A and B are shown apart, each in its own frame.
Chain A
Amino acid sequence: MISRLFANRRLFVILLSVILLTVSVGMTRGEREEVTWVEAGVKNTHAWLSGWIQGPTRLVAGWFDGDTAAVNGSDAGPENVLRLKAEVKRLKQENRRLKEAAGYIERDKKNVITARTVSRSPDRWNDRVVIDRGKVDGIRTDMPVVTDEGLIGRISAATDHMADVQLLTDSGSAPGIAAHVRTGDEEIFGLLEGYDAKKKRLLLKKIPSGAKLKKGQLVVTSGLSDIFPGDLLIGTVDEVKRGDFGVDRMVYVKPAARFERLHYVMVVRDPAKIKLKEHRKKLNSEGEGNGVD
């Protein structure tokens, strides 16, 4: 019987490749602290090349965007004048975007790393953005990523020169983000888990049912979290529903940030949380023998 199985080579190859697929997915899915050097090399090269392509694209997209509506192509001068004009427009656009970012940095005195996005995952089943800063610039996994409007995601993987950002709109099973709803005098705790693509709302779950929630209240990250610094704006309360378990509430949160066409993003570094993480790691490695988790 086994010889017959081997005789049908095509079937055998298909079976083997499905098994290999399952094994490799099982090994690589989920959270990984480090990527292998092969993957890091491929990712770095891709990010570098994408960065080259992205520049001119942004310029052209900016024209349609109305950023550079003042460009009038009617006076067709020599070619290099046009080129210089385009260059000026590009610089103005870049300047404006960076100023927005800088304004944010000044308002909130936090340690942030400004990065340019270089590419975005083509499928929206896992919504990721690649940015052009990595470990060399101080980025570590799990750091929150914001724009000047609000929280957009977290770092899911980092190599030396690039990092992957998992956006909040990712439909996958990301770990929940601890969040607070500000209701004037008190702060109500909830977990930000998942995204409703149809309504374009983030889902804030596991809120105690006694909470008095109103449309328009602010939702921010919670400082209680081990990973995230507190008080990063996520969005506003839009709709309150009964939760999955019947005893809690679920809130549809209207995100403050736009997720379309992200050009510059900021990675928030909170020194206290980094220290905490390192400390925890050290404790874990010491406590492994003693059964401390």
Chain B
Amino acid sequence: MAVWLLTGFLSFLFLLEGTVLQELAPQAWGLPVVWIPQLVASGVIILSLYRGRKSGLRFGLCFGLLHDVVYGQAVGIYAFSTAATGYTAGLISRQFFSGPGVALLATGLCQAFHLLLSFGWFRLFNITELPWMEALIFHILPSVLINIVVAYPVYRGVRWMIRRTHPRSVQLFD
């Protein structure tokens, strides 16, 4: 039940990434700063904090693959990166004490990891020729900052869904 609810929610976020958020993002208004909306990655990270690293791995793989097929030039890059990010988030959650602040911090860290990893693969396979520094300063840093802010509603959404379906389970993040 929770799985279907979460899948639906993440699919909705996935649709938002390519449509609505592309109209709102700073690059649509001609700014040099680029925001890469990664709501699905935030969702995968947060549900991995709640449900464990295996779950994060599975969701990451599925939604990464979806991203690859829909937008990508090469199938596999996002599938690997998002799955790895979900798994890492699950590992990180064991190291810290819990709380919404920590959840958002972990989201930021994992977002940066996800962007760096996917950009690294893109560079390796020569799918992009953007220089490293430019990608870091104009794409990755602003994206991580904005994504942390946007992750809060995603966090609330995921938390609501998990609470609704497992009302009596132990809650790490509150």
Contact = CB atoms under 8 A, between A and B. Distances in A.
B121 to A, nearest CB: 8
Interface residues of A, number: 42
A53 B130 contact: no
Given A130-B18, A173-B127, A57 B74 contact: no
Given A172-B128, A261-B28, A50 B134 contact: no
B109 interface: no
Interface in B64-82: 66, 69-77, 79-80
Given A42-B66, A260-B30, A122 B130 contact: no
Given A29-B125, A173-B126, A198-B134, A21 B18 contact: no
Contact of B70 (A24, A42, A53): A42
Nearest to B16: A53
A27 B73 CA distance: 11
B29 to A, nearest CB: 7
Interface residues of B, number: 46
Contacts of B66: 42
Interface in A28-65: 28-30, 38-39, 42-43, 46, 49-50, 53-54, 57-58, 61
A39 B30 CA distance: 32
Nearest to A50: B19
Interface in A1-34: 17-18, 20-21, 24-25, 27-30
A264 to B, nearest CB: 15
B18 A125 contact: no
Contacts of A118: 19
Given A122-B37, A125-B122, A172-B127, A21 B71 contact: no
B70 A122 contact: no
A120 interface: yes
B54 to A, nearest CB: 12
A217 interface: no
Contacts of A171: 128-130
Interface in A180-239: 194, 197-198
14 contacts: A25-B75, A29-B127, A39-B69, A43-B69, A50-B18, A57-B23, A119-B22, A121-B18, A122-B22, A125-B119, A125-B139, A197-B138, A198-B134, A260-B27
Interface of B: 15-24, 27-30, 32, 34, 36-38, 66, 69-77, 79-80, 83, 118-119, 121-122, 125-130, 134-135, 138-139
Interface of A: 17-18, 20-21, 24-25, 27-30, 38-39, 42-43, 46, 49-50, 53-54, 57-58, 61, 118-126, 128, 130, 156, 171-173, 194, 197-198, 260-261
